[in-house]
Chain A
Amino acid sequence: MVIEIVNPGLATTVQDLGRPGYYHLGIPLSGGMDRLALQAANLLVGNDSGAAVLEAVFMGPQIAFADDRMVAVAGAELPPKVDGEPRETWTSFLVKAGQTLSFDFLKKGARAYIAIGGGIDVPVVLGSRSTYVLGALGGHEGRALQAGDRLKLGAAAPVKQGRAIAADVQRAPGTSVELRVLPGLYWHRVAEQSGRDFFADTWKVAPEADRIAYRFRGGRPLEFAPRTPPFGAGSDPSNIVDACYPYGSIQVPGGTEPIVLHRDAVSGGGYFMLGTVISADMDLIGQLQPHTPVRFAPLDMKAALAARHERKTLVSKLHASLG
């Protein structure tokens, strides 16, 4: 009923679909960065789609099993091995009592979701099992996993091994990506030509990219429309009176390097934001490796809702394909 972490990998955390309702106190949603992959991995092993899984980034953990469990890995192409024998991603496989699950080098993407039959049974905190490391909240002792950690598992449903997600339902991580953005928030503060440049430039994922936010480099610095600084905002043209930050919002401190907030977002602050990445594209960000080229593309609300609908259809297909 337990697994033991032999080697934790780089930053492996327990995550589910997140913790809504506490953002007004600075406690962010948390949860899987690629929720589509998290749901797929769960469904493959017979879990509820929102059961707690392990999210591994760039490097897989090594895990010893005490009883037989069905396992599935989805998201990044991080090839699993059972006692050194390769297994497929996006496909359920059995790990027997006494066997060890480990991983080969990352081939594509950034984050792999490791679902285990029964789910990871860490305590539910404020309605979720997700880890929020900055606030030392949830997951296993509020932190990333360490060697020697023992995690309890829930009761598993009986499922066959070899269940797979059809290729057309997998949203596998790409090498280059376009992130669709609804301009707004403080968009009016950007000079007109500079706004066009922002969407025309190719940006690259900076090494400072984690669950809180992704930073981007390589495009032209922003120029701002002239203004008199309002009381309480600070004198830099990129400053505002500290306000809330939407998930996916793009802040540009000093006008130089855009930062997109993600699942462990800081909930507010004093930097202006030029718009927000649409909900349908947030999963894609979590799979971006440093140096990956990225374009931001503007769209309107109607197109954002159409994209949201398309993503929802993909989730339904995921459920349908596994009966």
Chain B
Amino acid sequence: MTMRYSFGGDEHVFVEVDEEMSLKAFFKSLSITNAVRESRIKGVTEICPANASFQIKFDPDLIAPDDMLRELQRLESAADTTDVSLKTRIIEIPVLYNDPWTRETLMRFRERHQDPAATDIEYAARINNFASVEDFIAAHSGSPWFVSMVGFVAGLPFLYQMVERSRQIEAPKYLRPRTDTPKLTIGHGGCFSCIYSVRGAGGYQMFGITPMPIYDPRQEISYLREFMALFRPGDMVKWKPITLDAYHDAVADVEAGRLAPLMRDVTFSLTGFERDIDSYNRKLEKALHGH
């Protein structure tokens, strides 16, 4: 991993931690951006961690660009990235895979797809060598995912699967982006899954939909009253496949203000995780379900 620094005009420093995606690169980006936040460098206005890079917005009237660069390089060498331990949350997200709404949408945009004869999930299952869509769903929901970036639009999480690279699900984006995606669609592009926080354009393959809102600018939903966006970089997500009936029940619960998402505070250790991925993930799942 070689860090590459570049200026984005006169107001941003852009730092590529690594050209390719990995948990190591993500954690390095997260620990350096945390260090930037703690060090309170004058002139910093935005600190944006991303998957394998990060970006700092600053006011060059308060700190010269070259000084800003030197501060970041100083923090890079000081940041302890050998054994990253992170206080974070694990959140269960119910998913209706193969739902009627994304199915209707994907049919409308079939001519923009790699495989117009299949649905997105059938296509993703096939190119990732799964025997069936059921097996694919089991793999997608079988291990937790890291929120490795929040953005694109308000509150949208990019999620990185917590398994070794050989087992990661990969899928290309649509040949041409759609002009429409249902709100709360579970999408996938490259090695990232996402939850579309609002309705709009999108290029990721659509696998399902969650009944659980993750962004509420009116802050009326019980668990979004404190802040309008649910996710922060470093959160973990565990998908829970649900039925159509359970989906409708959950939607009714949201409307009645009854939905209480399952989420727990946990501490994550990268070294512990890498030592034995599957047993570490089982431990996380136990923490989630409180037993």
Give the contacting residue for A241; candidates B6, B52, B198; CB below 8 A: B52
| CB atoms of A267 and B151 under 8 A apart | yes
| CB atoms of B217 and A241 under 8 A apart | no
Give the contacting residue for B50; candidates A21, A239, A242, A280; CB below 8 A: A242
| CB atoms of B151 and A25 under 8 A apart | yes
Q: A24-B49, A312-B61 are in contact. Are A135 and B217 (CB under 8 A)?
A: yes
- Nearest chain A CB to B48's CB is how many angstroms away? 4
- Nearest chain A CB to B59's CB is how many angstroms away? 10
- Nearest chain B CB to A177's CB is how many angstroms away? 17
Give the contacting residue for A21; candidates B20, B45, B158; CB below 8 A: B45
- Nearest chain A CB to B38's CB is how many angstroms away? 15
Interface residues of B in 171-222 (CB under 8 A from A): 172-173, 189-192, 197-198, 200, 215, 217
Residue A84 is within 8 A (CB to CB) of chain B in the complex = no
Stretch from B10-18, B77-85, B128-136 that touches the partner: B10-18
Interface of B is mostly: loop
Residue A47 is within 8 A (CB to CB) of chain B in the complex = no
The answer for the CA separation of A187 and B9 in the assembled complex, in Å, is 13
Mark each residue of chain B from 65 to 97: 1 if its CB lies under 8 Å from any CB of chain A, else 0.
Answer: 100000000000000000000000000000000
Residue A198 is within 8 A (CB to CB) of chain B in the complex = no
A229 and chain B: residue at smallest CB distance: B20
Residue A23 is within 8 A (CB to CB) of chain B in the complex = yes
| CB atoms of A26 and B190 under 8 A apart | no
Q: A231-B191, A232-B51, A276-B8 are in contact. Are A137 and B154 (CB under 8 A)?
A: yes
| CB atoms of A242 and B198 under 8 A apart | no
Q: Which B residues touch A269, using CB under 8 A?
A: 152
| CB atoms of A241 and B21 under 8 A apart | yes
Residue B269 is within 8 A (CB to CB) of chain A in the complex = no
| CB atoms of B198 and A246 under 8 A apart | no
Residue A244 is within 8 A (CB to CB) of chain B in the complex = yes
Residue B32 is within 8 A (CB to CB) of chain A in the complex = no
Residue B142 is within 8 A (CB to CB) of chain A in the complex = no
B52 and chain A: residue at smallest CB distance: A241
- Nearest chain A CB to B52's CB is how many angstroms away? 5
The answer for the CA separation of A176 and B231 in the assembled complex, in Å, is 43
| CB atoms of B152 and A268 under 8 A apart | yes
| CB atoms of B198 and A243 under 8 A apart | no
Mark each residue of chain A from 18 to 31: 1 if its CB lies under 8 Å from any CB of chain B, else 0.
Answer: 00110111110000
Residue B57 is within 8 A (CB to CB) of chain A in the complex = yes
B56 and chain A: residue at smallest CB distance: A244
The answer for the CA separation of A24 and B9 in the assembled complex, in Å, is 18
| CB atoms of B9 and A241 under 8 A apart | no
Interface residues of B in 146-176 (CB under 8 A from A): 149-156, 158, 165, 172-173
A231 and chain B: residue at smallest CB distance: B20
Q: Which B residues touch A27, using CB under 8 A?
A: 154-155, 229
A20 and chain B: residue at smallest CB distance: B45
Interface residues of B in 11-43 (CB under 8 A from A): 11-12, 14, 16, 18-22
The answer for the CA separation of A255 and B60 in the assembled complex, in Å, is 31
The answer for the CA separation of A232 and B232 in the assembled complex, in Å, is 21
Measured as residues with beta carbon below 8 angstroms from the partner, the interface class of chain B is: 35 or more
Residue B47 is within 8 A (CB to CB) of chain A in the complex = yes
- Nearest chain A CB to B132's CB is how many angstroms away? 26
Residue A297 is within 8 A (CB to CB) of chain B in the complex = no
- Nearest chain B CB to A168's CB is how many angstroms away? 23
Q: Which B residues touch A301, using CB under 8 A?
A: 7, 10, 65
Residue B54 is within 8 A (CB to CB) of chain A in the complex = yes
Give the contacting residue for B51; candidates A26, A135, A137, A243; CB below 8 A: A243
| CB atoms of B8 and A184 under 8 A apart | yes
Give the contacting residue for B153; candidates A26, A142, A239, A241; CB below 8 A: A26
Q: A184-B8, A244-B151 are in contact. Are A235 and B172 (CB under 8 A)?
A: yes
Q: Which A residues touch B52, using CB under 8 A?
A: 232, 241, 243
The answer for the CA separation of A90 and B106 in the assembled complex, in Å, is 50
Residue A322 is within 8 A (CB to CB) of chain B in the complex = no
Residue B98 is within 8 A (CB to CB) of chain A in the complex = no
Q: Which B residues touch A24, using CB under 8 A?
A: 46-49, 150-151, 233
Q: Which A residues touch B189, using CB under 8 A?
A: 234, 270
The answer for the CA separation of A206 and B191 in the assembled complex, in Å, is 32
Give the contacting residue for A305; candidates B10, B12, B198; CB below 8 A: B10
Q: Which A residues touch B154, using CB under 8 A?
A: 25-27, 132, 134-135, 137
- Nearest chain A CB to B179's CB is how many angstroms away? 12
A248 and chain B: residue at smallest CB distance: B9
Q: Which A residues touch B119, using CB under 8 A?
A: none
Mark each residue of chain A from 261 to 288: 1 if its CB lies under 8 Å from any CB of chain B, else 0.
Answer: 0000011111001011111100000000
Q: A242-B192, A270-B190 are in contact. Are A134 and B47 (CB under 8 A)?
A: no
Binding site for B on A (CB under 8 A): 20-21, 23-27, 125, 132, 134-138, 142, 182, 184-185, 187, 230-235, 239, 241-244, 246-249, 266-270, 273, 275-280, 301, 304-305, 308, 312
Known A232-B21, A242-B50, A244-B54; further 15 A-B contacts with Cβ < 8 A: A20-B57, A26-B229, A125-B217, A135-B155, A185-B14, A233-B19, A242-B149, A243-B14, A244-B55, A247-B8, A266-B153, A267-B153, A270-B173, A270-B190, A279-B9
* A-B CB contact pairs (8 Å), 18 listed: A25-B231, A134-B153, A182-B9, A184-B6, A239-B190, A242-B50, A242-B152, A243-B14, A244-B50, A244-B149, A244-B151, A246-B12, A247-B57, A276-B7, A278-B10, A304-B9, A305-B10, A308-B60
Q: Which 7 pairs across A and B sit closest by C-beta, in order of nearness?
A: A232-B21, A246-B8, A276-B9, A230-B20, A135-B154, A267-B151, A244-B55
